[in-house]
Structure 1
Amino acid sequence: MPASSAPAASPDPIVPVVEALRAGRIAVLIDDEQRENEGDLLCAAEHATPEVINFMLTHGRGMLFVALDGETCDRLDLPPQHRVNTTQRGTAYTLTVDAAEAFGVTTGVSTADRSATIRRLAAADAEPGDFDRPGHVQPLRAREGGTLVRAGHTEGLIDLMRLAGCRPAAVGIEVMNPDGTMARQSDLDRLCREHALPACSVADLIGHRLERDRLVRRVTERPLTNAFGDWTLIAYSSDVDPFPHVALVKGDVGAADPLGRVADDPEPVLVRMHSQNLLGDVFGDREQPSGETLEASMAMIERAGRGAVVYLRHEAMGRGLVRDLHTRRATLADGPPDPHDERVRPDPDRAAAADTPAVVHKSDHGIGCQILRDLGVRKLKLITRHPGHPAQRGSLAGFGLEIDSEVAPGAAG
């Protein structure tokens, strides 16, 4: 249950949140206003008493869920709800569960039943056979690397559990107003005041982790000459996926001093954040014109004389490619594809998105953001086919990156 008095102010908003979670109390995690612009009540799953769940259902009103790390999902045999994830944010829903009757669960609906299920999900000795499926509790799988990879609530909850020294399992619920609308910043501020709940944002959490954690590092670099002039190719390794990512830079972007230090660039830098797409990039698939976008971006940077292309690779490309080919084959059997239907025509900026892991999933370019920071980029002239996309700005802002302007691939100037 919430504390009886407001927590003391802290220059780092993460601190009171972590202290509350460690003590078994409830806190609030707020999203970036450019992303979902919503908030979640959260508590460590191991401390999810019936009273805690009742408070969350009463004052949260949204969907109750349990964020789990990947290892726990695998150990408990919690596969995805569907093999192809087409949700707007790429939220990784697993099969729903109830704890088995041996743990005191009856219908699975009451706060006592749901709290028993949630606490069992957090238990270190839990096994797949401890749960009935489907059930009334919705687990969500967090991506490895947390908010430094995907700036989402699921990852935020698991990051906070680890900072609090709790099991990697957190119960959360989206906060809705009494009239059924989603609670925004002012509504969440009021809720925190009324119930003395500490709060932090996903951006706060990313900033906290960036001061302490680093998931990418330069491996090597060399000159490269192509049809668009002379570049420097910089390869990066990542702690959360096996494939190296690369930055193709022109001019003095990312240049290090003799001690290997890169100064922050005071000027906006022309940047293309590009996700690997074999069909479009290499074979020129007209339905996935990512290769045209990549070439147009390099031509723009060549004309400007400086800039960077961050090329993000991913382990699941092969699986995504096969899935995509099967989907398109089935679609063609029903007739010509509708070029405006994104269910059958992949977005070139989200190549193989349904099977793409965290580093390039949709607009959550966490690894790419860290590469830009390593290059000294702080302000971007972003080359994008989707100008004004709020999630694009939100996922960058958490990493201390600012979009100065957006330009379409191939735009003059």
Structure 2
Amino acid sequence: MPYGKVDKAIEDIRNGKFIIVVDSEDRENEGDLVMASELVTPDAVNFMAKEARGLICVSLSSERALDLDLAPMERRNTSLHKTAFTVSVDAVQNTTTGTSAYDRFQTIRTLIASDSVAEDLGRPGHVFPIVGKEGGVLRRSGHTEASMDLARMAGLQPSGTICEIMAEDGTMARFSELQTFSEKHDLVMITIEDLIRYRRSKENLVKRIETVAMPTGMGEFRLHLYEDLYADDSHLALTIGDIQAEESVLVRIHSECLTGDVFGSMRCDCGDQLNEAMKKIADVGTGIIVYLRQEGRGIGLAHKIKAYKLQEDGLDTVEANVKLGFPPDLRDYGVGAQIIYDLGARKLIVMTNNPMKLVGLEGHGLEIVDRKSINIGANECNRGYLETKKTKLGHLIE
């Protein structure tokens, strides 16, 4: 597969030029202007404001955001794509109102300067930092991560300045309009899927370590152990049957839940969902269950138990996570997508009630051909929990 277009995009980023990055039609279906933050100029900011007309944002690593004390804009992030905005900022020095192209250039420069400290930034302001996921587009298929990956691969600081491209009538520019914009301004245009393929041809998030037989009461599965190359952790996958790329495969991505999966806790429906998925896959005779180490929607076992205590004191599952200082859902599914791809599946029938899982699988060379609900009846202990997942987390519980 040729990757000349991505190579050209990286070269242009290295040379301080804009490129256009487009995401999936099923995701945001938008294009962003992208430039490496360390090469941004006042003229570049002015071009974004005049020609693209969207929000001007700066992608940063979580470590950089922590160094600058950039708190999340909203502790309870309910945006569809979990875009990790921090509080907006202005540079304190060498700016006036903060809104001019020069002022925003100064703010961008302050955000990435190695000697900047938290006190160099006023809050709120006119530039919007966004925290990217470690692992980039292989972890989350978003413009934030794409801009960081492109800057890093260009040998620059892993930070991009990005701006959504809008049509003249104020709506989001879609693919044909983005092509016209690209031709008008002579800008390379790539998709996030192009970048994922490019990175996956050179690197991975996971590595398969071992495969063993896994006989269960539901069927003869194979158990696959994967090492997470970006985190000191491991993940598992259960398969049954012969996985073929050209065939639609029943898939469940399941996040670890010790209390539900092992002890049969009635506080949640996790264990029941896992068992139901295993039964359905065994009945069909072909399928995959990816078991990710994302206990407590990503907050870990200890914090999950603390969240349980807060729930006993009257908070719901979302409020408890936020009270502990976490977003409602910290999970990501890029690792799961890579595991599924490694196992040979390309066309997926996904068993889930959570639409975020579908978003997380996009752009990884996987086609979602259908979604199947996996509904477990409520009991007296988890009725409120399931209602919260439906109303606050958008789960499609019937």
Q: TM-score range by the shorter chain?
A: 0.7 to 0.9
- Structure 1 segment 228-267 matched on structure 2, within 5 A: 228-253=218-243, 265-267=245-247
Are residues 1:28 and 2:1 paired? no
8 A contact 1:393–1:402 mirrored in 2: no
Cα RMSD, aligned residues only: 2.8
Q: 1:106 aligns with which of 96, 111, 127?
A: 96
Separation in structure 2 between the aligned mates of residue 87 and residue 322 of structure 1, nearest angstrom? 26
- Which residue of the partner structure matches residue 379 of structure 2? none
User: What is the SS of the residue equivalent to 1:13?
Assistant: helix
- Which residue of the partner structure matches residue 340 of structure 2? 372
8 A contact 2:3–2:198 mirrored in 1: no
8 A contact 2:141–2:360 mirrored in 1: yes
User: What is the SS of the residue equivalent to 1:84?
Assistant: coil
User: What is the SS of the residue equivalent to 1:241?
Assistant: coil
Q: 1:401 aligns with which of 366, 378, 386?
A: 366
1:76, distance to aligned residue in structure 2 (A): 2.3
Are residues 1:183 and 2:173 paired? yes
Q: 1:313 aligns with which of 284, 293, 309?
A: 293
**How far does the alpha carbon of each residue in 1:94-117 deviate from its partner, in whole angstroms, 9 at most, with x for none?**
23222222xx11221211111011
- Which residue of the partner structure matches residue 149 of structure 1? 139
- Which residue of the partner structure matches residue 7 of structure 1? none
Structure 1 range deviating more: 237-246 or 269-278: 269-278
Q: Which amino acid aligns with 1:93?
A: F
- Which residue of the partner structure matches residue 84 of structure 2? 92
- Which residue of the partner structure matches residue 327 of structure 2? 354
Separation in structure 2 between the aligned mates of residue 49 and residue 303 of structure 1, nearest angstrom? 60
- Which residue of the partner structure matches residue 296 of structure 1? 276
Separation in structure 1 between the aligned mates of residue 305 and residue 195 of structure 2, nearest angstrom? 36
Q: 1:318 to 1:393 in 2, by over 3 A?
A: closer
- Structure 1 segment 192-271 matched on structure 2, within 5 A: 192-253=182-243, 265-271=245-251
Percent sequence identity over aligned pairs? 38
Separation in structure 2 between the aligned mates of residue 319 and residue 37 of structure 1, nearest angstrom? 38
Q: Which amino acid aligns with 1:401?
A: L
- Which residue of the partner structure matches residue 6 of structure 1? none
Unaligned runs of 5+ in 2: 377-398
1:344, distance to aligned residue in structure 2 (A): 6.8
Q: Which amino acid aligns with 1:325?
A: Y
Q: 1:404 to 1:137 in 2, by over 3 A?
A: closer
Separation in structure 1 between the aligned mates of residue 4 and residue 232 of structure 2, nearest angstrom? 33
- Which residue of the partner structure matches residue 261 of structure 1? none
- Which residue of the partner structure matches residue 3 of structure 1? none
Separation in structure 2 between the aligned mates of residue 83 and residue 75 of structure 1, nearest angstrom? 18
Q: Which amino acid aligns with 1:134?
A: P
Which aligned segments of 4 or more residues in structure 1 are displaced greater than 4 angstroms? 282-287, 329-332, 342-346, 391-395
Separation in structure 2 between the aligned mates of residue 37 and residue 312 of structure 1, nearest angstrom? 28
8 A contact 2:81–2:359 mirrored in 1: no
Q: 1:279 to 1:89 in 2, by over 3 A?
A: farther
8 A contact 1:297–1:410 mirrored in 2: no
Separation in structure 1 between the aligned mates of residue 349 and residue 373 of structure 2, nearest angstrom? 10
- Which residue of the partner structure matches residue 381 of structure 1? 349
1:86, distance to aligned residue in structure 2 (A): 2.4
Q: 1:119 to 1:270 in 2, by over 3 A?
A: same
8 A contact 2:351–2:373 mirrored in 1: yes
Unaligned runs of 5+ in 1: 1-9, 254-263, 347-351
Q: 2:72 aligns with which of 66, 69, 80?
A: 80
8 A contact 2:40–2:105 mirrored in 1: yes
User: What is the SS of the residue equivalent to 1:354?
Assistant: coil
Q: 1:243 to 1:232 in 2, by over 3 A?
A: same
Separation in structure 2 between the aligned mates of residue 320 and residue 33 of structure 1, nearest angstrom? 36
- Which residue of the partner structure matches residue 165 of structure 1? 155
User: What is the SS of the residue equivalent to 1:298?
Assistant: helix
**How far does the alpha carbon of each residue in 1:290-342 deviate from its partner, in whole angstroms, 9 at most, with x for none?**
3222111100111122221001112622366257436644656xxxx8xxxx9
Superposition TM-score, scaled by structure 1 size: 0.81
Q: 1:278 to 1:11 in 2, by over 3 A?
A: closer
Q: Which amino acid aligns with 1:408?
A: S
Report how many residues are paired.
369
Are residues 1:276 and 2:256 paired? yes
8 A contact 2:68–2:118 mirrored in 1: yes
